[in-house]
Amino acid sequence: MSEALQPRPIRSLKDFPSEHLLAGGTPMCAGCGGLQVLHEVNDVLGANTVFVNAAGCMTLLASYPYTPFRGSWLYTSMASAPAGAQGVRDALDILIARKRLAPEEDLRAVVLTGDGSAYGMGLSATSAAIERGLDFLYLCYDNEGYGNTGQQASGATPHGARTATSTRGHGGAKKDLFAIWAAHRPAYAATVIGSEPLDLAKKVQKAAALKGPRLILALAPCPPGWDFDARDTVEIGRLAVKTGLWPLREYENGRIAHTRVPHPRVPVEEYLARQGRFRHLFEPRRDEEAIAAIQAEVDAYWRAIG
């Protein structure tokens, strides 16, 4: 494998490789926050990976005969990608233990999933994989809805967001997948975002050096789904962090630590106002109550963590 494909440690933004592992030409939308994360993560992990995909937007990354991967990929189903990772991991372990495969042929199993599967249909398989102590990485690109089918509401949709099935604003609340993972006491869990590549790289490197079930949960700003111009993907990602709406945190050894504490926090409405999916909170009239409620929830979160 060429030197360009071997991952080098990333300590500053300058260490990001110029030659990227994930090839271009994929059918993901222009400005896809999820693709941004995947290509950053791929550079950190290197090519000795097998991405085990749960049905979602990224199902179409590999469409015969086109694949962007220089490592491996296995498409499974919407509900059972962690079980696919289990099969691959166990088989590799058996082959290496029985000397039917050289250890340098080993691969890292990485589940690649959207929020639709991660927060919903795939929860059972995910929970069980963690419970079995499966040695795998779980990379979730969370665009807060069933993106591939046109942005219907999912378990990850935040309260008040317009989706294709909640045209007046989602009545439910976003599930806390990070907390669900943490309750399982995995080897590691972290939230990341593509607009904070250094924070992401440090967390992925840390996860890569551990064994066991490890979550990398990435908020993925979605131009068509959230209704904003593709060029704003990074800015919206930065606002998600600066408002405190998307806390950047890690779980390790029973403890949760935040890698960024935005202070002072930007008012949430600056984030909301940039996205068409929240337009009804501002037009035809400002819904002060709704905006204040969202702000209050964010404030409560940061107050609670002290």
Binding residues for another protein, rule CB under 8 A, total 86
Q: Is 31 in the site for another protein (CB under 8 A)?
A: yes
Q: Which helix (H) or strand (E) holds 74?
A: strand 72-75
Q: Is 284 in the site for another protein (CB under 8 A)?
A: no
Beta strand 72-75 with 49-53 is parallel
Q: Is 133 in the site for another protein (CB under 8 A)?
A: no
Shortest Cβ 286–another protein spacing (Å)? 19
Q: Is 163 in the site for another protein (CB under 8 A)?
A: no
Q: Is 285 in the site for another protein (CB under 8 A)?
A: no
Shortest Cβ 113–another protein spacing (Å)? 14
Contact 205, 10 (CB under 8 A): yes
Q: Is 7 in the site for another protein (CB under 8 A)?
A: no
Q: Of the two residues 31 and 116, which places its CB atom closer to another protein in the complex?
A: 31
Among 106, 112, 133, 265, which Cα is nearest to 188's? 133
> What is the x/- site pattern for another protein, positions 198-237, by CB under 8 A?
-------------------------xx----xxxxxxx--
Instruction: Find the helix packing angle between 33-45 and 233-242, rounded to 10°.
Output: 80
Candidates 41, 45, 88, 294; binder of another protein (CB under 8 A) is: 88
Which residues 6+ apart lie within 8 Å of 129 measured at CB?
82, 83, 85, 86, 136, 138, 213
Helix, strand, coil distribution of the chain in percent, nearest 5: 40, 15, 45
Q: 174 to 203, contacts with another protein by CB under 8 A?
A: 194-195, 197
Lookup result for tokens 């599967």: 117
Candidates 7, 29, 207, 271; binder of another protein (CB under 8 A) is: 29
CA 85 distance to own-chain centroid: 17
Q: Which helix (H) or strand (E) holds 214?
A: strand 213-219
What are the residues facing 215 on neighbouring strands? 138, 189
Burial of 258 (0-12, 13-18, 19+ CB in 10 A): middle
Candidates 95, 266, 273, 290; binder of another protein (CB under 8 A) is: 95
> What is the x/- site pattern for another protein, positions 231-270, by CB under 8 A?
xxxxx-----------------------------------
Q: Of the two residues 20 and 175, which places its CB atom closer to another protein in the complex?
A: 20
Q: Of the two residues 90 and 287, which places its CB atom closer to another protein in the complex?
A: 90
Q: Is 273 in the site for another protein (CB under 8 A)?
A: no
Shortest Cβ 101–another protein spacing (Å)? 6
